[in-house]
Amino acid sequence: MKPRALVIEPDFSGHRWRYVQWAVEALIEAGYECVVATDASNCKHALIEAYQAGRADVHVLWHREDQRRPSIANRLLGLAKEDFSFYARFAWVYREVTRSEPVDIVVVPFGDYILNAVAFLGSPFGKSPWFCVVMRQTFHHREMGVNVPARPLVDYAKKQLFSWALRRGNLSAVLTIDPTLPGWHANTSLAKHSPAVLYLADPFPEGGTVGRDEARERLGIGTERMILVYGAITDRKGVKELVNACMTRDMPLVIVIAGKQNDDIRAFLKALGSRSKERVVVFDHFISSEMEADLFCACDAVWVGYKGHYGMSAVLVQAYRYGKAVLASPFGLIGWFAKQDRLGPVLDDLSIPAINAAIDEVFALDREYEPARESDGRKLLAGHTVSNFKKTVRSALTIAGPDVKTIPTPI
């Protein structure tokens, strides 16, 4: 009988479904059969439909917030903080899946859902080994030279919660898309008495490349200069600021906004005047891998001037892979990579003059732009491949110990 893995991810928006896909692929390659637990709202998602159409080694468990019957204590915790609500939900999923037979490993592709609650309550998965991916831990950034706002009390509290979670959570490993977190962890006393913290390359799927003109023809885009905004489109992407700045420019320029939008951005774009709409092309839907490749091949630059985002960006990785300059926020890991690797103009702020100055700079570079060749960041970005992602997942399985069954993957 094959070993059994439980993968829990309620939200398939943005890049999160990719983490489920690649984690499941790594587990299957290691000899596992998988149970993917997700919210019933994802039933029409392409990945879920693919699993249900023909994968005997992947089973899907639907869950809704109103399905579980949490205890009174868990209901009170859920009211106190969202983390505890997710904790109770994940614990319910685990009990449902293990009611018939146990699981050998639990994988949480977005561990930030529950890590704060784990700090207080321990693991929601009983004695089963588990590991997770964290994406939003920023308490260590100032210590590691990353430009983020000073928040000493918040950072101290979050550092303590992270440390408690590592000690009390029965975790086998923590994977992080932040290259500075493993370094911080290794230099603390925590490293001797806690699970491993491993760097997980935040990749984009391997996509083919086509000529710029061919990609634009398929997308229905003309010859104007093009800036791409890609991913889960919310106000934090800085979309409004970019559009408002571009409306003041005389030169022909088109902004392509690709990815599912929230209601706020949808309303903002709908309210644009006719002249503005001519400069904005919108693809408000799920983006296939083929279309994704066309978008990056077609664009002249990629927008990563995000607001309040201090973590890693898979869009930044994709821009690097396709040799596209970025217009980057100065903060967090986006600014950290952009500055040390000269990936494109770094915005002073999101004012109209600052954005237009960055656009002038990136278009003056034209296609002669090249990133720094030998920097540590560049080496990291070059390793952001799906194969390295899966390799790290398999390493976490090995770290989980002899009770977790692994089958060597053929080379």
Q: Tens of pLDDT along 171-200?
A: 999 999 999 999 999 999 888 888 999 999
| pLDDT score recorded for residue 75 | 54
Would the CATH topology of 4-203+385-399 be identical to that of 212-382? yes
The CATH superfamily holding the domain 212-382 is Glycogen Phosphorylase B; (3.40.50.2000)
What's residue 31's pLDDT?
94
- Domain locations in the chain as residue ranges: 4-203+385-399, 212-382
**How big is the CA angle at 106 (ends 103 and 112), to the nearest 5 degrees?**
160
The per-residue pLDDT for 73 is 54
pLDDT at residue 378 in the model? 63
What is the predicted pLDDT for the residue at 368?
44
**Is the pLDDT higher at 64 or at 100?**
100
Query: CA–CA separation, 17 vs 61, rounded Å?
Result: 15
Provide the β-strand partners of residue 196: 173
User: Looking at the DSSP assignment, which residues form a beta bridge with residue 226?
Assistant: 254
Per-residue pLDDT at 92 exceeds 50: yes
Report which of residues 146 and 81 the model is more confident about: 146
- Judged by average pLDDT, the poorest of 19-28, 237-246, 265-274 is 265-274
Give me the mean pLDDT over the 131-160 stretch.
94
**Using one digit for the tens of pLDDT, what is the confidence trace for 348-379?**
999 999 999 999 999 887 654 555 555 555 66
Mean pLDDT of 385-395: 93
Q: What is the pLDDT of residue 82?
A: 79
Bridge partners (DSSP) listed for residue 344: none
Q: Where are the alpha helices (DSSP H) in 55-199?
A: 72-80, 82-97, 115-121, 152-168, 180-186
Residue 212: pLDDT above 70?
yes
246 is written with which tokens? 């571009």
Q: Which residues are CB-neighbours of 192 under 8 A, at least 6 positions away?
A: none
More confident position, 209 or 72: 209
pLDDT of residue 409: 40
* pLDDT number for residue 406: 46
> Which two structure tokens, joined as six digits, stand for 150?
């000073």
* pLDDT band at residue 384 under the 50/70/90 scheme: confident
Exposure string of 36-68, with b = 16+ CB inside 10 Å and e = fewer, is bbbbeebeebebbeebeeeeeebbbeebeeeee
Predicted confidence band at 381 (pLDDT cuts at 50, 70, 90)?
confident
- pLDDT tens column, 263-298: 999 999 999 877 677 799 999 998 988 999 999 999
| Residue 301: pLDDT over 80 | yes
User: How confident is the model at residue 411, as a pLDDT?
Assistant: 33
Give residue 1's pLDDT. 81
Pick from 357, 354, 305: which is nearest to 331 by CA? 305
Q: What is the mean pLDDT of the chain?
A: 88
Residues 161 and 170: their CA atoms lie apart, in Å, by 15
pLDDT of residue 357: 96
User: May I ask the CATH architecture of the domain 4-203+385-399?
Assistant: 3-Layer(aba) Sandwich (3.40)
Name the percent of the chain lying above pLDDT 70: 88
Q: How many CB atoms lie within 10 A of CB 120?
A: 15
**Residue 41 to residues 11, 37, 224, Cα–Cα distance (Å):** 9, 12, 38
Which residues, 6 or more positions from 356, have their beta carbon under 8 angstroms from its beta carbon?
Answer: 245, 248, 249
76 vs 86 pLDDT, higher one: 86
Weakest-pLDDT range from 194-198, 205-209, 237-241: 205-209
Is 204 within 8 Å of 198 (Cβ atoms)? no
pLDDT the model gives residue 244: 94
Average pLDDT on 27-41 reads: 95
Question: In this model, does residue 408 exceed pLDDT 60?
Answer: no
